[in-house]
Amino acid sequence: MNVGVAGLRFGMSWAQIFDAYDETDLIAVCDLDGEKRDRAREQLGVESHYESFDDLLDDDRIDSIAIFTPAPLHAEQSIRSIQAGKHVLCAVPAVLQMDEARSLVEVVSRSDRVYMMAENWVYEPALVRAQELYEEGALGQIYYAEAEYYHGVEALRRHPDGSPTWRNSLHPLLYPTHGTSPYLHMTRDSFTEAMAFAASGRAEFADGYETDWIQTAMFRTESGGLFRLSNSFQNVQRMSHFLSFHGDEGSFETGRFSEARTVCHYSRGGDKELIREVCEHTDLPQFGDGLGRGHGKTSMQIVLNFVSSIRTGTQPSVDLMLALDMTLPGIAGVQSVHSGNWETVPDPRTWV
């Protein structure tokens, strides 16, 4: 399978994975930045290097495009790739606006091409353990869950010339999927309504940041429960992620900070003991030892699932509908921050 990767900052690690995997040939890369294209050529020996996304689409040898460009470009580039007959693996979030989601549904539902969203958190070891416990019935029905995604990304908010990047004004709730995805992937529940709030620190500490420092949403779930999501890209502690699932038979929490991905604490029905477990990444012999240790292994699992879904004609683990179930609640949350009301989270299946 011939692959082209667009966007070579975070996308470079994905280019390395496609290059290393026996089942895929990385034959083209695309980035506006010539230095990044040169680096891909030097490090990975990629044949074709395009400055323009149009040229990537016009390359008839390419079967699949991996989109790792800025989030505001995801919807349009996914739509155009599917229309050009390519399979799509797209970085999170799938879309930033409701009308983009409708257009994407319209195009993907009329096509036989695979669309997958590259959401790592469903493959993080602690969350894989949560899924096992849920499937065993150890947690019962989850009636309340929480996710916090705090990621100070000041260094990525300005281009070298000082002008703002897309991250300088991205509403935190428009990047919801690291928080929403594990619960939705595990339960196949969905969110129906959002009520959200925002807060910021003092202006003299904002350093030109153009949106709320934190946005917190409460979602009602289709199954009758509640889910709280708090997101921030402007916080002193650079990185802190946390998820918890409260079921009527058991409860589960990830560790915090660097332990969120691999440590969990849980209690299961009848047995009130709190168990602490350190969870391991799956061993992936398809890739060499030198590539993507730890967190990078989740990206490899996504690539394996994407390729297998194309080869076997099965749905990828995060297909378009699930991707939108994970993404649209954040858009409804931002609507709620502005309106002060509960906002409906649409069901994208009704758009087909």
Instruction: List residues near ligand NAD by CB under 6 A.
Output: 6-11, 30-33, 36, 53, 68-71, 73, 91-92, 120, 156, 165
146 sits in which H/E element: strand 142-151
Q: Which is nearer to ligand NAD, 8 or 46 (CB)?
A: 8
Q: Which is nearer to ligand NAD, 94 or 321 (CB)?
A: 94
Closest separation between CB of residue 331 and ligand NAD, Å? 15
Q: Which is nearer to ligand NAD, 225 or 255 (CB)?
A: 255
Q: Pick the closest to residue 284 from 263, 307, 264, 257 (CA basis).
A: 307
Closest separation between CB of residue 299 and ligand NAD, Å? 8
Q: Which is nearer to ligand NAD, 268 or 297 (CB)?
A: 297
Q: Taking CB positions, which residue lies at the least distance from ligand NAD? A: 9
Closest separation between CB of residue 132 and ligand NAD, Å? 22
CB atoms within 10 A of CB 260: 24
> Distance between CA 66 and CA 114 in Å, rounded?
12
Report DSSP state, residue 104.
Answer: H
Q: Which is nearer to ligand NAD, 156 or 218 (CB)?
A: 156
Long-range (24+ apart) CB contacts under 8 A made by 76-84 are 76/100, 77/6, 77/53, 78/104, 78/115, 79/103, 79/104, 79/107, 80/53, 81/57, 82/107, 82/108, 82/111, 82/113, 82/115, 83/107, 83/111, 84/57, 84/58
Closest separation between CB of residue 50 and ligand NAD, Å? 8
Q: How far apart are the first and last CA of the chain?
A: 29
3 state DSSP class of 99: helix
Q: Which is nearer to ligand NAD, 56 or 217 (CB)?
A: 56
> Distance between CA 295 and CA 10 in Å, rounded?
13
Closest separation between CB of residue 29 and ligand NAD, Å? 9
Q: Which is nearer to ligand NAD, 138 or 326 (CB)?
A: 326
CA dihedral 282→283→286→289, nearest 10 degrees, is 120
Closest separation between CB of residue 342 and ligand NAD, Å? 27
Q: Pick the closest to residue 174 from 302, 286, 71 (CA basis).
A: 71
Residues 6+ away with beta carbon under 8 Å from 83: 107, 111
Closest separation between CB of residue 8 and ligand NAD, Å? 5
Residue with tokens 């904002």: 206
